């Protein structure tokens, strides 16, 4: 009977439980995450049914041993009450906790991490609960400790970076320096990283940043840092002006140096001792307050020191009796202008040469064309002159110039033993014009044209012989021909042979 009563009561609770609805959170068990020193919100809101009423709301935190620690309670008539160490640290989000039971922790601590229970008591349906597991993250607290190094030291730590957080942060280095990092973790959520290298002066001022990585950060946190390397100074002396001569006024030597820390102590010596009279050191300058003298020559030394070491530099000063007569150095801009002008002139000269060459080429072509036309004209005139001479031999209009020819056969010819003499002078022998490979020839007896002679030279020789040929022709006509019935006929002669052009003897 008792067992039946328990089952009935459990069934009633299940049915009643179905009536209540949790709007937030909907799941019976929920996990949340929060950051230390920030506000944490634990949601709990129950929606009642018709005829149902929330009587009391209570928040509990589960203890490691299995017990519960009461945090806060709100009654629909008596108001709310905070308990123990939570008094003043927690509050309800709503002014009516029985309607919205969400709990707020304004400043969350690491100890607030754990499991929480929201307990709702209703009438007449009974009690309902929601369980929330809270994880508290601690954003990393980080720091970087630089180390002052000295050039020439052995391999050692150049900087150390440390971070504390929850969960455990991760550290890395952002640098171009040649070194190596070493990370170490400790209890309590702290981690340290050390960066080591061989210190050199060219590393001074270079970037050596520490990066802190944590899931609570959207991007890594950067701790900016520059490596510090101390090194002794390097001294260097420069002169102003460069020409030192007797009587020069306002002359000075300048001692410059580089070092870390910056050098502060600068001293001057002359020939290993005190400075000459009238010369004084003003900071890094050695100033002559009077005109230079010839005995001011010598070796000047500049000594620069810092906390790390000392730097020295020497300058041999040679003073002349008179200034140099060398002209001032040509300015670089003037050299550029001169070079550009010379280049422009060269280009202009090249263009002029090309234009002149083209002009002469065209002129030569024109002269060649004119010479070719003249040669053709001379050849034509030469042929016409030859025809005129042949026609002048006979005045008989019925006889064509090509029908007859007078030949004089030399009795001394080697190829023939015949001895013929026409009695005609050599001037009456007609000229034979040939065009064989461009060579014009005459009878060897005349000796006026030869192989290789240009047409122009032949014409000039023929023009010179026109007068003599006319005279000889008149004499030949009177000695060897006579006029009969308007025709010019040859005089009878015992050795004369008249040949027809077709090779027949008349």
pLDDT digits (tens, 9 = 90+) for 342-382: 888 898 989 999 888 888 888 888 888 888 888 888 888 87
Final residue in a domain of this structure, among 191, 226, 261? 226
190 plus 110 within the same structural domain? no
Of 501 and 296, the structure prediction assigns the larger pLDDT to 296
173 plus 47 within the same structural domain? no
- pTM for this entry: 0.53
Final residue in a domain of this structure, among 297, 317, 337? 317
CA distances from 460 to 445, 446, 453 (A): 19, 15, 11
Is residue 129 within 8 Å of residue 119, measured between CB atoms? yes
24 plus 48 within the same structural domain? yes
Q: Report the distance separating Cα 401 and Cα 405, nearest Å.
A: 8
pLDDT (0 to 100) of residue 372: 86
- Whether residue 341 is contained in a domain is answered as no
60 plus 158 within the same structural domain? no
Final residue in a domain of this structure, among 181, 205, 226? 226
299 plus 401 within the same structural domain? no
CATH, residue 241: 2.60.40.10
124 plus 222 within the same structural domain? no
- Of the candidate ranges 15-19, 108-112, 336-340, the one whose mean pLDDT is the lowest: 15-19
- Whether residue 503 is contained in a domain is answered as no
- Whether residue 333 is contained in a domain is answered as no
- Of the candidate ranges 78-92, 363-377, 427-441, 470-484, the one whose mean pLDDT is the lowest: 427-441
Count up the domains in the chain and report the number.
Answer: 4
- Whether residue 346 is contained in a domain is answered as no
Q: What is the 3-state secondary structure (H, E, C) of 303-315?
A: EEECCCCEEEEEE
The pLDDT of residue 299 is above 90: yes
Beta-strand runs (E) in 83-199: 91-92, 103-105, 114-123, 126-146, 148-150, 156-166, 170-175, 180-186, 190-197
For 63-91, the pLDDT digits (tens) are 988 889 999 999 998 888 999 889 999 99
- Whether residue 104 is contained in a domain is answered as yes
180 plus 56 within the same structural domain? no
243 plus 200 within the same structural domain? no
265 plus 181 within the same structural domain? no
Of 301 and 339, the structure prediction assigns the larger pLDDT to 301
Following DSSP, what letter does each residue of 161-178 receive, concatenated? EEEEEES--EEEEEE-SS
210 plus 308 within the same structural domain? no
The pLDDT of residue 35 is above 60: yes
187 plus 219 within the same structural domain? yes
pLDDT (0 to 100) of residue 495: 54
- pLDDT band of residue 159 (cuts 50, 70, 90) is very high
- Whether residue 359 is contained in a domain is answered as no
- Whether residue 455 is contained in a domain is answered as yes
Per the structure, the complete domain to which residue 417 belongs is given by 381-490
Of 345 and 461, the structure prediction assigns the larger pLDDT to 345
Q: Report the distance separating Cα 118 and Cα 41, nearest Å.
A: 13
pLDDT (0 to 100) of residue 441: 39
- pLDDT band of residue 401 (cuts 50, 70, 90) is very low
Of 128 and 417, the structure prediction assigns the larger pLDDT to 128
Of 337 and 55, the structure prediction assigns the larger pLDDT to 55
Of 439 and 231, the structure prediction assigns the larger pLDDT to 231
Enter the tokens of residue 347: 């280009």
Question: What would the mean pLDDT of 108-137 be, rounded to a whole number?
Answer: 94
pLDDT (0 to 100) of residue 334: 74
Question: What would the mean pLDDT of 156-172 be, rounded to a whole number?
Answer: 95
- Whether residue 453 is contained in a domain is answered as yes
CA 491 to chain centre: 106
For 173-207, the pLDDT digits (tens) are 999 999 999 999 987 789 999 999 999 999 999 99
215 plus 309 within the same structural domain? no
Task: Give the residue from 133, 116, 135, 130 showing the smallest Cα distance to 26.
Answer: 130
């Amino acid at each position: 009977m008792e067992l039946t009563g328990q089952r009935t009561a459990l069934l009633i609770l299940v049915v009643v439980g179905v009536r209540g609805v949790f709007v937030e959170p909907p799941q019976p068990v929920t996990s949340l995450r929060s950051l230390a020193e920030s506000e944490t919100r634990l949601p709990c809101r129950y929606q009642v049914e018709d005829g149902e009423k929330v009587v009391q709301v209570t928040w509990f935190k589960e203890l490691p041993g299995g017990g519960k620690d009461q945090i806060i309670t709100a009654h629909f008539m008596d108001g709310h009450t905070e308990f123990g160490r939570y008094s003043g640290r927690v509050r309800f989000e709503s002014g009516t906790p029985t309607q919205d039971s969400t709990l707020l922790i304004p400043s969350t601590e690491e100890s607030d991490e754990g499991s929480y229970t929201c307990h709702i008591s209703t009438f007449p349906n009974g009690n309902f609960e929601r369980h929330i597991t809270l994880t508290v993250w601690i954003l990393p607290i980080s720091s970087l400790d630089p180390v002052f190094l000295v050039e020439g030291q052995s391999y050692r730590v150049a900087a150390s970076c440390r971070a504390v957080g929850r969960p455990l942060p991760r550290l890395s280095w952002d640098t171009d320096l040649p070194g190596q990092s070493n990370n170490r973790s400790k209890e309590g959520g702290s981690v340290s990283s050390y960066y080591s290298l061989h210190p050199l002066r060219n590393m001074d001022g270079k970037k050596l940043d520490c990066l802190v990585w944590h899931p609570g950060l959207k991007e890594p946190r950067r701790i900016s840092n520059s490596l510090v390397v101390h090194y002794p100074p390097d001294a260097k002396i420069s002169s102003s002006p460069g020409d030192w001569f007797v009587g020069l006024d306002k002359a000075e030597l300048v001692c410059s140096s580089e070092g870390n820390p910056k050098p502060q102590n600068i001293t001057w010596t002359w020939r290993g001792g005190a400075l000459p009279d009238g010369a004084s050191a003003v900071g890094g300058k050695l100033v002559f307050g009077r005109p230079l003298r010839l005995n001011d020559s010598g070796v000047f030394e500049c000594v620069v020191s810092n906390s790390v070491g000392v730097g020295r530099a020497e300058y041999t000063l040679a003073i002349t009796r008179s200034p140099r007569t060398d002209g001032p150095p040509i300015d670089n801009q003037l050299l550029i202008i001169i070079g550009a002008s010379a280049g422009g002139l060269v280009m202009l000269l090249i263009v002029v040469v090309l234009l002149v060459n083209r002009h002469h080429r065209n002129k030569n072509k024109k002269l060649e064309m004119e010479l070719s036309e003249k040669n053709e004209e001379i050849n034509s005139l030469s042929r016409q002159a030859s025809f005129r001479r042949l026609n002048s031999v006979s005045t008989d209009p019925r006889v064509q110039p090509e029908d007859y020819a007078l030949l004089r056969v030399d009795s001394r010819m080697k190829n023939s033993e015949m001895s013929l003499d026409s009695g005609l002078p050599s001037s009456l022998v007609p000229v034979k014009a040939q065009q064989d490979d461009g060579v014009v020839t005459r009878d060897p007896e005349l000796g006026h044209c030869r192989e290789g002679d240009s047409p122009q030279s032949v014409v000039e020789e023929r023009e010179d012989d026109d007068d003599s040929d006319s005279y000889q022709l008149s004499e030949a006509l009177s000695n060897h021909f006579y006029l009969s019935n308007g025709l010019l006929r040859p005089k009878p002669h015992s050795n004369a042979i008249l040949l027809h052009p077709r090779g027949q003897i008349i």
